[in-house]
């Protein structure tokens, strides 16, 4: 049922794609951003950080307009070109660990998002939705696809296998040692087959990009209301996505770091913790949970294993069985007094790729008092949350792959 369409991407020229492609703006440290802006005139960061040209921090509508100006300059200088007809794009990433991600870049329908044919598992923040909607409306393009996932499909898998045997249009390796490939699909029969295969699916699931999806939907509704000749086929009715099979998705956990014990001594804290968990002091042993409802805890130079007591907690739905929710319901909120996981300054997060070694280091240096680790959510748990129209606690999943911005661009009007 989902409507997944080819589109006319705006792309860098082959000789400049490796220079243009960038990570998300927020993922760079200030020194990293400055180094790239100083030394690479083609970086996509010049577009999304237009104030650099004037040595000034610029925000709000003024920044949005300048982003559009920088983008138009890249087009005028033929750094970006647009494909002559709608295409699907096959995108592959092989990261430095050797993990491989391959899928289609395509346009997905905002109506499908509205009608829950594109399902979500995270809450979004209204202010961020509105801000990014206004940004999209002003700049007129989307340069970072929403990551969607679909069940195994033999027909699509065969197409991906055959296409990736041929020479890629783009092939470049980043300083992160990830290698990126892009193939262009133009054959009308192949395009039709891909579209029909997606139509056969009951739904797709958002893996990453909930705010981008929500903002694209809001923009579509706004522009539809202003267009008396609205047909439903206008560009603003769609948003750019990267769609990969479920087996290619990598879901990591977020570990929790807390700055204090909410006024409790170590002994008082452990006594309260005992009501919910069987606690074992592991000393210096680097402990990582081995199954669901187990947690790793690091406190005052020692690791602890926590095993949820079977009689201490009641499972009522898919959300209640998530380890991130259990941690919140049994420790973070009732014992440590952390209610607002998004905004409380006493809690911070580190994705599981860093492991508990990062957590231990931060606690040992005195930045935090205590840390918790857990196993990652699996794809079936994520889908069940979406199917039951529930939402996970903030910072439950860190999902790969992470795409580069500026490799394919979807123009909204």
What value does the mean pLDDT of the chain take? Answer: 95
Q: Show the domains of the chain with their CATH numbers.
A: 4-251+400-411 (no CATH), 254-375 (3.30.1760)
Q: What is the pLDDT of residue 18?
A: 95
Q: Assign 155 to helix, strand or coil.
A: helix
**Token couple for 354:** 């860093």
CA atoms of 322 and 119, how far apart (whole Å): 18
DSSP string, 21-65: -B--GGGS-HHHHHHHHHH-TT-THHHH-GGGGGTS---HHHHHH
Separation of alpha carbons 119 and 228, rounded Å: 29
Q: Are the C-beta atoms of 342 and 290 separated by less than 8 Å?
A: no
CB 91 within 8 A of CB 242: yes
Looking at residue 265, its pLDDT comes to: 97
* Predicted structure pTM score: 0.93
Q: Are 102 and 164 in contact (CB under 8 A)?
A: yes
As a whole-number percent, the residues of the chain with pLDDT over 90 amount to 87
Residue 28 has pLDDT above 90, yes or no: no
C-alpha angle 399-119-350 in degrees, rounded to nearest 5: 25
**DSSP conformation letters of 377-407:** PPHHHHHHHHHTT--BPSS--EEE--PPBTS
pLDDT tier, 7 (very low <50, low <70, confident <90, very high otherwise): very high
Average pLDDT over residues 58-79: 95
CA distance 287 to 302: 10
Please report the pLDDT score of residue 185 as a whole number. Answer: 98
DSSP string, 90-147: EEEEE-TT--EEEEEEEEEEHHHHHTTSEE--B---HHHHHHHHHHHHHH-EE-SPEE
In tens, the pLDDT along 89-132 reads 999 999 988 899 999 999 999 999 999 999 999 988 889 999 99
- Residue 151 above 90 pLDDT? yes
Tens digit of each residue's pLDDT (9 = 90 or more) over 188-245: 999 999 999 999 999 999 999 999 999 999 999 999 999 999 999 999 999 999 999 9
CA distance 246 to 97: 19
Tell me, what's the pLDDT at 317?
94
pLDDT of residue 150: 96
CA distances 403 to 46, 81, 208, Å, are 18, 20, 11
């Amino acid at each position: 049922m989902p409507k997944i369409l080819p589109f006319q991407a705006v792309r860098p020229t082959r000789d400049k794609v490796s220079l243009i492609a960038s990570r998300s703006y927020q993922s760079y440290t200030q020194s990293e951003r400055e180094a790239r802006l100083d030394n690479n005139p083609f970086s996509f960061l010049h577009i999304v950080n237009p104030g650099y040209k004037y040595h000034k921090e610029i925000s709000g509508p003024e920044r949005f307009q300048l982003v559009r100006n920088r983008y138009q300059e890249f087009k005028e200088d033929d750094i970006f070109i647009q494909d002559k007809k709608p295409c699907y794009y096959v995108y592959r990433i092989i990261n430095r660990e050797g993990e491989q991600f391959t899928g289609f870049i395509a346009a997905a329908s905002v109506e499908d998002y509205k009608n829950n044919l594109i399902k979500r598992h995270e809450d979004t923040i209204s202010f961020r939705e509105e801000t990014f909607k206004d940004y999209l409306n002003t700049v007129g393009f989307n340069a970072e696809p929403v990551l969607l996932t679909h069940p195994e499909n033999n027909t699509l898998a065969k197409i991906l296998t055959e296409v990736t045997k041929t020479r890629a249009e783009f092939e470049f390796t980043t300083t992160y040692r990830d290698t990126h490939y892009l193939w262009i699909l133009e054959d009308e029969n192949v395009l039709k087959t891909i579209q029909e295969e997606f139509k056969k699916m009951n739904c797709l699931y958002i893996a990453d990009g909930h705010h981008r999806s929500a903002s694209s939907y809001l923009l579509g509704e706004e522009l539809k209301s202003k267009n008396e000749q609205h047909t439903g086929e206008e560009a603003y009715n769609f948003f750019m996505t990267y769609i990969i099979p479920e087996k290619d998705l990598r879901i990591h956990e977020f570990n929790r770091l807390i700055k204090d014990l909410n006024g409790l001594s170590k002994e008082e804290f452990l006594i309260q913790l005992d009501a919910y968990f069987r606690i074992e002091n592991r000393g210096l042993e680097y402990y990582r949970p081995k199954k669901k409802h187990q947690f790793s805890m690091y406190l005052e130079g020692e690791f602890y294993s926590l095993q949820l007591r079977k009689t201490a907690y009641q499972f009522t739905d898919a959300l209640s069985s998530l380890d991130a929710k259990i941690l919140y319901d049994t420790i973070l909120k009732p014992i440590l007094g952390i209610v607002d996981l998004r905004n409380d300054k006493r809690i911070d997060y580190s994705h599981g790729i860093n492991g508990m070694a990062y957590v231990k280091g931060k606690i040992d240096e005195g930045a935090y008092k205590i840390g918790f680790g857990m196993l990652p959510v699996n794809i079936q748990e994520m889908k069940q949350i979406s199917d039951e129209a529930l939402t996970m606690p903030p910072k439950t999943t860190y999902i790969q792959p992470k795409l580069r911005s500026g490799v394919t661009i979807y123009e909204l009007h």
